[in-house]
Structure 1
Amino acid sequence: MTGPVTRNMAEPLRRTYAAAPSPKLVVAVGDCAHNCGVFASAHGVAGAVSDVVPVDVEVPGCPPPPEAIVAALRGLTGR
Structure 2
Amino acid sequence: MIRVRLFAGLRERAGWGEQQVPTPAGSPPPTPAHLWRQLALGETIPPQVRVAVNQSFAAADQQLQPGDEVAFLPPISGG
Q: Max radius of gyration: which structure?
A: 1
Same fold per superposition (TM over 0.5) = no
TM-score under structure 2 length normalisation: 0.25
Normalized per residue, which structure has more helix?
1
TM-score under structure 1 length normalisation: 0.25
Normalized per residue, which structure has more strand?
2
